[in-house]
Amino acid sequence: MFENYLSHPEIYQALEEHFEKTFNTLLKKENLDQEQFQTPYYRTHFANGMPFMNGNPIFSTKHLSSQDRLRVILDIDASDTTCFENKLNNSKELCICGSVQNIEQFKKAMNNWLKQQKLFLNRSQET
């Protein structure tokens, strides 16, 4: 469905929208408020307004309380989906990398990240 995202701007835009809708659905599932997140977090356009359209990132968000970030990167050469964490000053960034064929694995990793953010909120409300 999204295989030609790099060569067709309308497919790329539909894919971006798909990830945003997926994220919003997962937010509702976890009973999290959309206003707790800055989405998109990373800029994906050049100064002249032209989109990068390279899949890095196809989706990004930042949890405003924990300052943790999530970045979804599409790589046409990837055979598997890989997750790695970058340590930042007082937060971390989860990067999920893979091909568009592994979209279900992206959703699972996004959901797991949201569960971690929910735990952070619960802990911070207890103190």
pLDDT of residue 126: 74
pLDDT of residue 122: 84
Please write the tens of the pLDDT for every residue from 113-123. Answer: 999 999 988 88
pLDDT category of residue 127 using cuts at 50, 70 and 90: low
Which residues, including other chains, have CB under 8 Å from residue 59's CB and lie 6 or more apart?
16, 19, 20, 23, 39, 40, 70, 71, 72
Are the C-beta atoms of residues 63 and 120 closer than 8 Å to each other?
yes
CA distances from 56 to 16, 22, 104 (A): 11, 18, 18
pLDDT of residue 1: 79
Mean pLDDT of 16-27: 97
Please write the tens of the pLDDT for every residue from 80-107. Answer: 999 999 998 889 999 999 999 999 999 9
Are the C-beta atoms of residues 19 and 59 closer than 8 Å to each other?
yes
pLDDT of residue 125: 77
| pLDDT exceeds cutoff 90 at 112 | yes
Where do the structural domains in the chain lie, given as residue ranges? 9-126
Please write the tens of the pLDDT for every residue from 38-84. Answer: 999 999 999 998 889 999 999 999 999 999 999 999 999 998 999 99
pLDDT of residue 37: 97
Q: What are phi and psi of 88, to 5 degrees?
A: -110, -170
Distance of CA 43 to the CA centre of its chain: 13
**Would strands 82-87 and 59-63 be described as parallel, antiparallel, or unpaired?**
unpaired
